[in-house]
Amino acid sequence: MGIENIAAFVITAFIFIITPGIDTAFVLNKTISQGKKSGVYATMGINSGVLVHTFCAALGLSLLIARSVYVFQCIKYAGATYLLFQGIRLLFNKKSLGDRTVYQDEQSTKNDFWSGLLTNTLNPKVALFFLSFFPQFINPQELNNPLPFLILGITYAFIGMIWYLTLTLFASVFAEKIIPNPKAGIWLNQLSGVAFLLMGLKILWSND
């Protein structure tokens, strides 16, 4: 297969995945504010984004993006704009957690999948991370072979699915305890909104 030190890859990937970031904030917000089903859809969307980056890396598209300043900047600004939009939307969302059951029966749960997909796919840092991280566990003679990239990417996504589904489960339990507080949902949205705004600005102002 051309893969080396798969055990080290799994451990390192798990550490990267559990480190709080955009994806963690997104899943937590969706789960607590809209329910467990939304968290599951968000999880699937995020890890589908991981698979998109995996296929791009396997086909060499990520390398082309990294080398093309114009394409990289376009993706960078698109990703930053999307995060800023999400942040502003959350800041002005005044719905309480008592309204979260409405989301379970609406099309918005499927929209959470696409939001998760875009949140991950439009982050150029993920593409650069895969380009620098995956080759460390691939035999140098197999770097032009897409199969090792695909195997590592699918493994990464599988670990991500397990972690974020676990996070969704615990977050949904936590949400049930704070539902009686009518202001909890507003506080959550404002906190998440600020987090998304800061992450969007960080991408926007990065020198990469």
From CA 33, how far away is CA 199, in angstroms rounded?
20
- Give the single-character DSSP code of 50: H
Quickly tell me which residue has 């329910």 as its tokens: 35
Instruction: Tell me the pLDDT band of 34, cut-offs 50, 70 and 90.
Output: confident
Instruction: Tell me the pLDDT band of 100, cut-offs 50, 70 and 90.
Output: low
Stated as kind and residue range, the H or E segment containing 44 is helix 36-59
Residue 3, beta-bridge partner list: 138
Mind listing the pLDDT tens digit for each residue in 16-31? 999 988 889 889 888 8
* Cβ atoms of 13 and 159 closer than 8 Å: yes
From CA 75, how far away is CA 167, in angstroms rounded?
28
pTM for this prediction? 0.81
Mind listing the pLDDT tens digit for each residue in 126-160? 878 888 899 889 988 887 888 999 999 999 999 99
Stated as kind and residue range, the H or E segment containing 62 is helix 61-67
pLDDT at res. 99: 54
Mean pLDDT of all residues in the chain?
83
**What DSSP line would sit under 170-183, residue for residue?**
HHHHHHHHHTT-TT
With H, G, I as helix, E, B as strand and everything else as coil, classify residue 162: helix
